Structure formats: C-alpha cells, structure tokens
Structure 1
Amino acid sequence: MIKKLLLIGVFIAFNSCGNENKVTPDSSEIDRQISALPYFNSADFTPQWNTPIHKIPPFSFLDQNGDTISNATYKGHIYVANFFFTICPGICPKLTENMSSLQEFYQNDDDIMLLSHTVMPWVDTVEELKKYSIRKGVNAEKWHLVTGDKTELYTIARDGYFADEDFTKTTDVDDFIHTENFILVDKKRYIRGVYNGTIALDIKRLMRHIDILKNEDIQ
C-alpha cells in the first residue's frame, strides 16, 4: 500500500511539471503544420509569406548532352538547383550524392527536376560533364548538369539564386563561387526554400517542403 502511494505521488509530481518541461515539436512536426512555403526575395534569405517578387531570371546553358537548357526546360516543374564542379575534392561529392538520392526518390515523379550548374566552366566542358554524368548515374530526363559562359553562370548564381554567400564581403565579380546550398524553385520560378546540401536532415526537410509545395499547387 505504501509503495502504491509512493508511485502515485511520483506520477503526480512528474506530470505537474509538464508545463515546465514541455517538449517543443521537431522540424518535421512544424512542417506538418505549414500549409504553404514562404518566398525568398533577397540574398539574406528572409522568408516572406504571400510576397512573390524575385524570379529566377532567363538563362541558357548547355547540358551534359550538348542540349540547350533554359527556363523553358523547367517550365511547369518544381526543381532543385545547386552549384558544383567536377574536380572538387571538398563538398561537391556530397552534394552530388544527395542530388543523386533526390533523383532516385523522384525518378517516377515528372513534376520534380534537378539542375546543377558548374562554377568552373573552363574545366567542365560538355564532354567532361558527360563523363561525370555517366560516372554518377545522372538521368538526363530528370537532371541537367550545365556549363556555359563564366560571367553568365556567375551572374545567375549571384543575382538569380543568391548562391554566393561571400559575394557581399568580396564584391568581386570574378571571385570563385562555391556554395553548399540547394535551392528549391517552384513552377513559377520563385525561390521557396534554401537547404544545406551536405546535411542529410536538411535533405529530408527539403523533401517535406517539396510535398508542401506540391499540395500548394493542388489547392
């Protein structure tokens, strides 16, 4: 009887602290409560709801097959964009690995596409991108690796995707661009999410946000 009373007392004491020890929901629970993603209109990536201003500007590059890739290629598609170069020994292998995982997961989903821009076009020619795509199992129907004029690539990186975190510090248009960001772009060319492409948890968050974005299109 005494043991039972002690157990009841412990139970009451534990539960009376519920407000002080309230567990905050993790990011997946928060995501489930979101019905729409914000828009990102500036390089500081301040989220803004119901304020679509900045669109990915027109572009035209060549992919691993030598085909011209432009805004028209991605019209009507949600896509994930990033920046890399084929001889990168640092973060690029992880970025490519995670893009590959997205390719595999969405292989049968025609709504979702991928776009990787080289930041070293003097090395990453169409031929080199082709070799790289074969090594990495890139499906050209789903995922385009693009090269082109350096100035155009760097301009869209900075002005289109806000991809160069150091640019505001260096202000050197010729400075090398290297970013770990994955950028989520909706069907109307608005930026709807920014993620660390090297972190598995952020890739999962990206995938949850793709689901939210797809539901947003249905509503």
Structure 2
Amino acid sequence: MRPQQVLLLGLMLLVPVLAFLFLKGFGTNRYALPFYLPERVDSTLVAGKWQRDTVFHQLGPFQLREAVANRAVSGAELQKQGLYVLSFFPSDCPISCQRQNAQLVRVQEKFRQDAGVRLASVLTTTDSSTILARFAENYGAIAGKWFFLTADKPTVTRLREQELRLPPLVAGADGPYVVQLVDRDGYVRGRYDGTSERDMNRLITEIDVLLYIYEHP
C-alpha cells in the first residue's frame, strides 16, 4: 500500500474519533430560558463568597372568574399543575385579537394531552359571562385546559400594569397582544407577540423546554 493511501486511511479512521471526542466534551446543548421582570439586585452567599444576583418578580396573588363553569380561578390554581400561558383580549376582538386566539388554539392542540400546560385568556373589558362562554365555544376551549376569565376593571388593570408591567390599554386600539409564559413558581419566563406565528412557535418550543426541565431537574 502506498504511503499516500496509508495516510488517507489513517485520516478516515481518525475523523470519527475526533468528532466523538469533540461532541463528548463540548456537545452538551443547553437551552436556558430567561426570567423577565427584574425587581432588584441582591447579594447571595455562594460557597463562602458573596455574589450579586438579580431578583426577579413573582406574580402576586390574583383571582378571576371563569366563564363556562362560573367559578373563581386564582393564579395559584393556574400554576398548581405546572406552567400556564396568559393572554388578554377585548370583547369586540378585532382582527389582531382573532389572530392571537387562533395561535392559542395551536398551543392548546399541541399540549392537549399534557395536564401541566394550561391557558388563561383574560377579558380586558367588562362583559357578561355569556359572551365569554361563546368565545370559549368558538375556539374549542377544553374545560379545565383553556380558561376564559373576567374580573372587574381594577383587578385586570392591576394584573396587567402592576404585576406584568404592560403598558396601559388605549381605547379603540387593536393591541398590542403580548402573551406571557408563567412557570409553576409564578415567574414570567417568556413574552411573545400573540399575532406572530414565529413568536408563537417559539412559545411552543419554550414550553417544551420548561416541561423537560421539570421532568429532569
């Protein structure tokens, strides 16, 4: 066998070995979800040394009313079994609102069999439970999976503006429609444009990431 052939054969055998060693040493893929709503910077004692770290806001307690079953639903209940997807919409639900709700249908269908994923759509305008029940029916909301919720204006305003730090709603404006991913501890882990298919695809991916983290702590 010629020297060139020997060298070529050696390289062909060496490449898979090097690839294996590289993947073993550097191939761990970690998809870390960020936390939103920074609250303050605090000091933490780690291995005998003080380190400064950001403390993020946990959603405070809130209680809304569910349309179909006509009962109270709290934030604690929504996150009890896992994470939930939180969104807002007005009763007239213009075009952008309809796009958001259509995207949420996709999320529900993707995680239909997963009890650890819930959806909560909150009405931003005062209206009757009958109208909310009709929304739930129109979008095929699964009972106990996708909640259509309402409350008095101060409660909804506090949830939107104080807890989630969203800008005040402008009368007659169509949006913005910001969808939140809230984890089982009440932290906001994702924010998405509810009218964007690309953003909602990212939401679906990041729900999968959180579920994997919960299953493999």
Quote the Cα distance in structure 1 between the aligned partners of 2:116 and 2:86. Answer: 14
TM-score by length of 2: 0.73
The yes-or-no answer on 1:72 pairing with 2:69 is no
Q: 1:118 aligns with which of 111, 117, 123?
A: 123
Offset at residue 38 of structure 1 (A): 1.1
Quote the Cα distance in structure 1 between the aligned partners of 2:113 and 2:199. Answer: 22
Give aligned-pair identity as a percent: 27
Q: 2:163 aligns with which of 144, 151, 160?
A: 160
Quote the Cα distance in structure 2 between the aligned partners of 1:69 and 1:139. Answer: 15
Q: 1:208 aligns with which of 205, 209, 212?
A: 205
CA-to-aligned-CA distance 1:77-108 (integer Å, 9 cap, x gap):
21110110231223110111011111111110
Offset at residue 184 of structure 1 (A): 0.5
CA-to-aligned-CA distance 1:112-161 (integer Å, 9 cap, x gap):
0001111112xx32111012211221112101111111011011011122
Q: 1:196 aligns with which of 171, 193, 197?
A: 193
Larger radius of gyration: 2
Quote the Cα distance in structure 1 between the aligned partners of 2:114 and 2:166. Answer: 26
Quote the Cα distance in structure 1 between the aligned partners of 2:90 and 2:128. Answer: 11
Equivalent position of 1:20 in the other structure: none
| Stretches (4+) displaced over 4 A | 174-177
User: Is residue 38–residue 56 contact of structure 2 (8 Å, CA) maintained in 1?
Assistant: no
Equivalent position of 2:59 in the other structure: 56
User: Is residue 38–residue 54 contact of structure 2 (8 Å, CA) maintained in 1?
Assistant: no
What secondary structure does 2:95 align onto? coil
TM-score by length of 1: 0.72
Quote the Cα distance in structure 2 between the aligned partners of 1:119 and 1:188. Answer: 24
Quote the Cα distance in structure 2 between the aligned partners of 1:215 and 1:81. Answer: 20
Equivalent position of 1:93 in the other structure: 98
Amino acid at match of 2:62: F
The number of equivalent residue pairs is 172
Q: 2:110 aligns with which of 99, 105, 114?
A: 105
User: Is residue 195–residue 203 contact of structure 1 (8 Å, CA) maintained in 2?
Assistant: yes
Q: Which has the higher strand share?
A: 2
User: Is residue 103–residue 143 contact of structure 1 (8 Å, CA) maintained in 2?
Assistant: yes
Offset at residue 200 of structure 1 (A): 0.8
Equivalent position of 1:39 in the other structure: 35
> Which ranges in structure 2 are unaligned for 5 or more consecutive residues?
1-27, 40-52
Quote the Cα distance in structure 2 between the aligned partners of 1:144 and 1:163. Answer: 21
Amino acid at match of 1:70: S
Equivalent position of 2:149 in the other structure: 146
User: Is residue 37–residue 164 contact of structure 2 (8 Å, CA) maintained in 1?
Assistant: no
Amino acid at match of 1:203: M
Quote the Cα distance in structure 1 between the aligned partners of 2:165 and 2:71. Answer: 25
User: Is residue 80–residue 113 contact of structure 1 (8 Å, CA) maintained in 2?
Assistant: yes
